[in-house]
Structures are given as structure tokens and as C-alpha cells.
Amino acid sequence: MIKCFVLVLSFRRIIVLSGDIKRFMNWLFPHKCIACSAEVDAYSTLCTRCFTEITFIDHPICRVCGRMFENQESYDQDEICDRCLETQQHFDMARSLMQHDSFSRRVIMRIKKATDYGIVKICAKRIYTKYPRLFDNIDYIIPVPSHWTRLLRRGNNPPDVIALKLADVSGIECRRLLRRIRRTEYQKDKSVVERAANVARAFVCNCEESIIAGKGIIIVDDVITTGATLNECAKVLKLAGAAIVKCVTVTSTRPSHKWYEPISSLS
Ligand SMILES: [Zn+2]
Ligand SMILES: [Zn+2]
């Protein structure tokens, strides 16, 4: 009995001490806001001021690609944007957490440079609570794959990290069901047509088609711009028999007139 009492006391002391050590370490190395470096209470989070700077995706949005419309006030409800009306979208729907702007770009850079995975956890939780129905009837969460040469050079594939965190919060299995078989050029500064051509036939199934057939799948990427990469991935999955293919990204860009012209014709 006495031994037990001493054991409980020692255990409590260890807990108290570990709390002291934690406070001391926080004092020595204070947590900083991931965007502005202001002091915050927890590791890898945003201060209150920066949090208000995030432009979260808000209705009305395109029912298919999930982008916010340019003139929000012109729309009473979610409709389908011109881009989705013009293009054969192989995915059933795409949804993003925030608007791609100078602020959210910093968040994406932290994920890309593998400097901070805490922010990925925050984003994954936010995505899950923002779109809980999106995860209905989904069997697998899969990342957009990198080519092995890019993976070797960069050291990580950002969609992998986001997909794993989304799998954690949703309880859905994360699998790498796609493989990038061709090293594609960066999509930046390419038009819609050039982007689609750049990623055409760049992906194949990384498994037996029977694993995909009839399944609900969410493809994960960091950003949706024209949607060409996600559309190509969705096409491969649908051809393999996937029943539902949805896409999730951390940020989404607003449509740009530049996409519709070859870059060579821009001044
Ligand atoms: Zn801040
Ligand atoms: Zn759309």
C-alpha cells in the first residue's frame, strides 16, 4: 500500500516536472506564428491577426470545381463556372479550403519546403470540418504523385503529406494508387491547353484495376489552378472503373484570362 502511494506520488511529480520542462522550453524557444513570426501559444499555428487574413472559400462557388466566382454578388447560389462548362471534367467535384493569394501561398511554400507539417494538420482538420459530406462513400484518399526524379530532388511530395493527414482525420485509408510515368514540365505560365497537353498520359494506375473498380476516391493536391493535373488523374481512375472521384486541395486560384492564351502570345 505504502509502495503504491509512493509510486503515485513519483508519477505525479514526473508529470509536474514534465510540465515545467515544457514551459521552460517554450520560454527558451517560443512558438512563432507561421506567417508573421508573432509569439503564439502552440507550435505551428497562426496568430489571431493572421488567421483573419485567410480568405476561406465561401459560397457561392462552382458546384464542380469548387472555385469562388469572380463577382460573388452576381450569384445567388452555387452554379457551374464557364471553365467547367467548356471542359470535360472527369472528377465529380473538387473542393478547396482557401483562396490562393499572397497569404495562402506562404502556407503552401511551408508545405512544399517540408519545413512545417503542423500546418498540414490544421489544414486537414479544417477541410474535414468544412466539407464533411465530401468524405461520404469514399474508400481511398490518394495523393497526386510526383515523378521519382522530382521526388529525389525535392525530398518530399506535398500531396503525400496532405493526403496522409486527411486520412488521419477522416479515418479513410490513404493509398498511392497512381504513378507518374513521365516527368512533366512545371505548369506555371502555361495556358489551359498547354497545361492539359503537358500532363496528358502522365499517370497510370499503380495497382490492379480491380482495387479501383467501383470505389469512391478522393485525389489530393496542394493547389488547383486550371485543374488539368487533377482532371488527368481522375480520367485514369474513371477509366479503371472508379465509381466516384472527388478532388481536395488546400488552395484554389481564381480563373485567369492568361490561361486561355498561349504564353507566347502574351506581352
Ligand atoms: Zn501572424
Ligand atoms: Zn468550375
Residue 72 dihedral angles phi and psi, to the nearest 5°: -55, -40
Sequence-distant contacts of 183-186: CB under 8 A, at least 24 apart: 183/147, 183/149, 183/150, 184/147
Nearest ligand for residue 103 CA = 1
What are the cell numbers at 40?
503564439
Does residue 253 have a pLDDT over 90?
A: no
Identify which ligand lies nearest to the alpha carbon of 80. Answer: 2
Closest-approaching ligand to the CA atom of 35: 1
Question: Ligand 2: distance of its center to the CA of 33 in Å?
Answer: 33
> Under CATH, which architecture does the 54-265 domain have?
3-Layer(aba) Sandwich (3.40)
Say how far residue 118 (Cα) sits from the centre of its chain.
Answer: 13
In one-letter notation, the amino acid at residue 100 is H
- pLDDT above 50: residue 203: yes
What's the 148 CA to ligand 2 centre distance in angstroms? 31
Q: Give me the residue label for grid cell 469562388.
A: 68
Element (H, E) at 239: helix 228-239
Q: How far is the first Cα of the chain from the last one, in angstroms, to the nearest whole number?
A: 84
Between β-strands 178-180 and 203-205, what pairing exists: parallel, antiparallel or unpaired? antiparallel
Identity at 232, one-letter amino acid code: E
Kindly indicate the confidence band of residue 6, based on its pLDDT and cuts at 50, 70 and 90: low
Distance CA 151, CA 183 (A): 11
22 — pLDDT class (breaks 50, 70, 90): low
Where does 137-176 show beta strands of DSSP type E? 140-143, 173-174
- Residue 104 C-alpha to ligand 2 middle, in angstroms? 20
Phi, then psi, of 240 in degrees rounded to 5:
-85, 0
Q: Kindly give the distance from the C-alpha atom of residue 119 to the centroid of ligand 1, in angstroms, as a whole number.
A: 13
Ligand index nearest the alpha carbon of residue 70: 2
Q: How far is the CA of 242 from the centre of ligand 2 (A)?
A: 21
Task: Give me the pLDDT at residue 11, please.
Answer: 56
Q: Is residue 242 within 8 Å of residue 233, measured between CB atoms?
A: no
How many angstroms does the Cα of residue 251 sit away from the middle of ligand 2?
14
d(CA 125, CA 121): 6
DSSP 8-class letter at 133? G
262 alpha carbon, distance to own chain's centre: 28
Q: What is the pLDDT of residues 106-153, one digit of tens each?
A: 878 877 776 667 788 888 999 999 998 999 999 999 999 999 988 888
Predicted local distance difference test score (pLDDT) of residue 39: 84
**pLDDT value at residue 155:** 83
Residue 42's alpha-carbon distances to 24, 27, 218, in angstroms, are 14, 12, 30
d(CA 52, ligand 1 centre) in Å: 9
CA 88 to mean position of chain CA atoms: 23
The pLDDT score that the predictor gives to residue 263 is 41
Instruction: Map out the domains of the chain as residue ranges.
Output: 54-265
Identify the nearest ligand to the CA of 106 by its number. Answer: 1
**Percentage of the chain lying above the pLDDT 70 cut:** 84
For the whole model, what pTM was predicted?
Answer: 0.81
**How many angstroms does the Cα of residue 99 sit away from the middle of ligand 2?**
14
pLDDT digits (tens, 9 = 90+) for 64-102: 999 988 777 777 788 898 889 988 999 999 999 999 888
Cβ distance 22 to 97 under 8 Å?
Answer: no
CA of residue 88 to ligand 2 center, whole Å = 11
